[in-house]
Homo-oligomer: A and B are copies of this chain.
Amino acid sequence: MRVSSLVVVALLASLSAATAKAQPASSPRVDPLPSWNETARKQAVIDFVNRVTDRDGDDYVPPAQRIAVFDNDGTLWPEAPLPFQVEFVFEELKRRAPQEPKLAADPMVQAALAGDVKKLLAGKHYDGLMRILALTHTGITTDEFNARVETWRETTRHPRFQKAYTDLTYQPMQELLKYLRDNGFETFIVSGGGADFMRVWSEAVYGIPPQNVVGSTALTKFEFRDGKPVLIKTMDQAFVDDKDGKPVGIHQFIGRRPIACFGNSDGDQAMLEYTTIGNPLPSFGMLVHHTDAEREYAYDAHPPASGTLVTALAAAPANGWNVVDMKTDWNQIWETDKMESTQTFSEALVGNWLAEDIENHGVVDRAQTTLEIADDGTAAGNTSVNRYSGKAKISGDKIELGRMVMTRRAGPQSLMDQETRFMAALAKVTRYRIGDNGLLYLLDAEGNEIVRLSKIED
């Protein structure tokens, strides 16, 4: 069944390609884009960055004006077989239906549970899809919503790749984000996806903080519950950040015209136009064309779900937009490829650990603060108030635990203090050692033992 560009309307956005010789990057140490083959696309990006950062050149752009915008679905991660936020909606309904008879009785929920996408998209306004979006995205606090997205991230896997969705980002685009930031650019997501959905993990996954995520939004309602202020999600003043909505969203949320724009579908055409046509500053446009059925997906006019690429592809040559051919321009697709091949570490590290001491503070007795490390380097745990998770970078006795995503529940002050101390300590960790006593010591850059943990036996 084909959902086509319809889902785009409610949620998302996409991209495209040219050809080139595939060569391994020659000097991975200094090459900022090692996952990009040495083709014209890579050269175009590097040339542009060199031009706008050369203080003595005619095309110099001051850092404050180096705004780069990236579509998310299909540009930074896939949008097949369904957009990932739609997968989240389906999972939420599946999880909640058994406990919520009223919800389970809703005909559109039943259509979703049966995978009847056609029924959800019937009618001029996609009433079914809108209904299940409202059922999963409104009437709860922003904290509750964040926790649900976090649970989805931790517990569900992509049907084809069998990985957490947020591990399925494109390594070449991750390198590009970092390369631009290292050259004074400020990177923004501009996506049809829900801003609240993306902000839960954008910083941990892309290094893009919540305030740099432009997406579809609706108002919240401010009120007090149990004496504390909360924001309740609604569908009021819903704004769809797609197609013409993208330049509108850029103006509303960023207020400055970008000089670089990266997309993958017709939904990104307007923001590519806004970035590159008649811009008084030098500008750059790029489309990612999905051409690699073996490693990812291959489509343009007929995507598995969202991400139709027809008019933007046709408009690319006249506008000078660079079209990435995923198959030939990228020597690897997934962020984890490299990590899995180089990550080697003691098996003794794998397991579930309980914190006994954090920066010379003992731990609160009743609060179990844990760190679980899996054999693929996934790190997760509990601070006794919140769950956190992420990818550890481990090699030999080196370990980095800085990029964790955490739920955002509040708890008693003593536990919150301990949590803050623990997460701050994890962020400082650079090495580990396992003592003869079986304890795990996490060390900072100066070699101080800042966290001590004992193994929890299964």
| A424 in contact with B55 (CB, 8 Å) | yes
Residues of B within 8 A of A67 (CB): 211
Please give, as numbers and ranges, the residues of chain B lying within 8 Å of A55 by CB-CB distance: 424, 428
Interface string of A207-229 (1 = CB under 8 A from B): 00111110001011110000111
Q: Check B252 against A220 for contact (C-beta < 8 Å).
A: yes
The answer, yes or no, to whether A347 is at the interface (CB within 8 Å) is no
Interface band, chain A: 35 or more
Q: Mark A184-204 against chain B: 1 for CB-CB distance below 8 A, else 0.
A: 001010000001100100010
User: A424 touches which one: B62, B421, B424 (CB < 8 A)?
Assistant: B62
State the majority secondary structure of interface residues on A: mixed
- A100 within 8 Å of B (CB atoms): no
Residue of B nearest to A248 (CB): B220
Chain B residues, CB < 8 A from A281: 420
- CB-CB < 8 A to A219: which residues of B? 239, 248, 252
Residues A278 and B228 in contact in the complex (CB < 8 Å), given A195-B252, A237-B237, A253-B211: yes
Chain B residue nearest to A282 (CB atoms) is B420
10 tightest A-B CB contacts, nearest first: A210-B255, A228-B278, A222-B244, A280-B410, A199-B255, A211-B254, A210-B256, A229-B274, A222-B247, A280-B416
Which A residues lie at the B interface, using CB under 8 A? 55-56, 58-62, 64, 67, 142, 186, 188, 195-196, 199, 203, 209-213, 217, 219-222, 227-229, 231, 237, 239, 244, 247-248, 251-256, 270, 273-274, 277-281, 359, 408, 410-411, 416-417, 420-421, 423-424, 427-428
